[in-house]
Amino acid sequence: MEKLKIIHIYKSFNVFNGLIEILTIMGQDLDHSRFELGVCVNEYSPNYFGERFQQLGGRIHSLNTRNGLLGELSAFVKLVRFLKRYRPDVVQTHVLKANLLGILAAKIAGVPVVIATEMTLKDTAPSSGRRIRDRVLHPVAARVINRCDKYVVTSEFIRNEWSRGIDPQRFEVIYPPFNLEKQQSALRTPRTSVNGGAKNIGFVGRLSDEKAIPILMAAFVLIRQRAENAILTIVGTGPLEQQLKAYASTLGIGEYIRFAGHLPNSFEALKNFDLFVLPSRTEGCPIVVLEAMAMGLPVVATRVGGNPELVADGESGLLVPPNDPAAMAEAVLKILTVNDMARQMGARGRQRAFEHFHPSLFTRHLQDLYQQLYERKMAKGSPWARNAKPGDGLSTVPVPDMSSHAPGSKQ
């Protein structure tokens, strides 16, 4: 039996983000005897996570195009040519622009199975101009997505967010996975103890407006009034970093807050926390919550977006209203002070993460979806020659020699 050729379409493999993490996890867990995994991007310059993806059996195909209107047109033409040459059996596109252009290119090229994917909220572009552009594209994208075979989303909340104008039968909810390899790597090194046995409350994420970190800091002021041994560790970087540091000084709690910067493996930070807090005012389906649960941490999160689908309120953590420092402080203090609550919630959270969000479940769900949709198309007599044609100048990145990288190295 020939392998099914799977191509993911995205904008870039130059910046590490949640999707690149997911593609890496797929490389780790995919049945490579049945599937050939590749990703086609507009740009790629060799980097460690790209090399890691290829070491795991994936292939990176770069269109080598630039940003801007002319670059987008060039990328679309090159993408159609690539798909006609490579002849994948399944194309899976990711996020608004790639969904729009990738689906059209795959349809023109005659790809049998086309799957769109969305894991973000609407109107989250970093500038007002791009948000206006996206609002114009949304109804166009909905019409295009209605021509694909499935629309994979990462939570029920994301499904509802993007449901307008899209056939409900198109949707397939597949929750994102946590990276088991990174989790196991973090567990192999000892926990860093906090001086004086202080309780380490932690946040991991981008230091940006939607994460509402000032709410967490205001809550921490209240927490310190009743738990003088508490400290707050903020892991990550972002546009608000300097403002947040200044705000900590304004609140008079700067000496109890540690800004740890970016860590390649978030589990290395999580293992040193006693409790994880996510104060966001909006979320899609935050993988960091699953990571915290997988490390056995109780979670306090706002009741927004996909958070209630991940955290079992009262069992693996506590959910609180957004923009409410007092409610957040009460939840944190309850977990830290009620006898054995932190340990019990952490244990239940770890069990929930491994039972419901294990990376093998994610990959198996996608593999089954690929196989079922392809067999359905073939049963309908969809014509498709499986052999690739000679190249047309597209850059297919060679697999690097990774022998110098020790197993379990950080990404």
Summarize pLDDT for 102-123 with one digit per residue, the tens. 999 999 999 999 999 999 887 6
Residue 35 is inside which H or E element, if any? Answer: strand 35-41
Determine the pLDDT at residue 407.
Answer: 35
**pLDDT tens per residue across span 130-146:** 667 667 778 888 899 99
**Residue 42: partners with Cβ closer than 8 Å, 6 or more residues away:** 11, 12, 62, 63, 64, 65, 71, 75
Which of the residue ranges 52-66, 368-382, 397-411 has the most confident prediction, judged by mean pLDDT?
52-66
> Is 50 exceeded by the pLDDT of residue 409?
no
3-state class percentages of the chain: helix first, strand second, coil last, to nearest 5: 45, 15, 35
Amino acid at 104: L
Read off the tokens for 187.
Answer: 């567990």
> Which pLDDT score, from 0 to 100, does residue 388 have?
53
Q: Where are the alpha helices (DSSP H) in 110-203?
A: 128-145, 156-161, 180-187
Of the candidate CATH numbers 3.90.1150.170, 3.40.50.2000, 3.40.309.10, 3.90.1180.10, the domain formed by 4-177+358-385 belongs to 3.40.50.2000
The larger pLDDT score, comparing residue 326 to residue 197, is at 326
**Mean pLDDT for the stretch of residues 247-270:** 95
- What amino acid is encoded at 72 in this protein? E
Homologous superfamily (CATH) of 180-356 is: Glycogen Phosphorylase B; (3.40.50.2000)
pLDDT tens figures, 207-226: 999 999 999 999 999 999 99
Tell me, what amino acid is at 360? Answer: S
Element (H, E) at 226: helix 213-226
pLDDT in tens, 14-66: 998 889 999 999 999 999 999 999 999 999 999 999 999 999 999 999 999 87
Which amino acid, residue 113?
Answer: V
What are the residues facing 6 on neighbouring strands? 37, 90
Annotated domain spans of the chain: 4-177+358-385, 180-356
Q: Tell me how far apart the alpha carbons of residues 340 and 353 are, in angstroms, rounded to a whole number.
A: 20
Residue 408 has pLDDT above 50, yes or no: no
Predicted local confidence at residue 120, as pLDDT: 86
Give pLDDT, residue 73: 87
74-105: b or e for each residue (b if 16 or more CB lie within 10 Å)?
bbbebbbbbbbebbbbbbbbbbbbbbbbbbbb
Whether 4-177+358-385 and 180-356 share one fold: the answer is yes
293-317 pLDDT, tens digit per residue, is 999 999 999 999 999 999 999 999 9
**In the chain, what is the greatest distance between 2 CA atoms, to the nearest angstrom?**
70
Phi, psi (degrees; rounded to nearest 5) at 384: -160, 115
Residue 405 has pLDDT above 50, yes or no: no
Q: What pLDDT score does 68 carry?
A: 72
C-alpha 238: how far from chain center? 17
Strand order in the sheet with 317-320: 257-261, 230-235, 199-204, 275-278, 299-302, 317-320
| Pairwise CA distance, residues 365 & 244, whole Å | 40
The pLDDT confidence band at residue 200, using thresholds 50, 70 and 90, is: very high
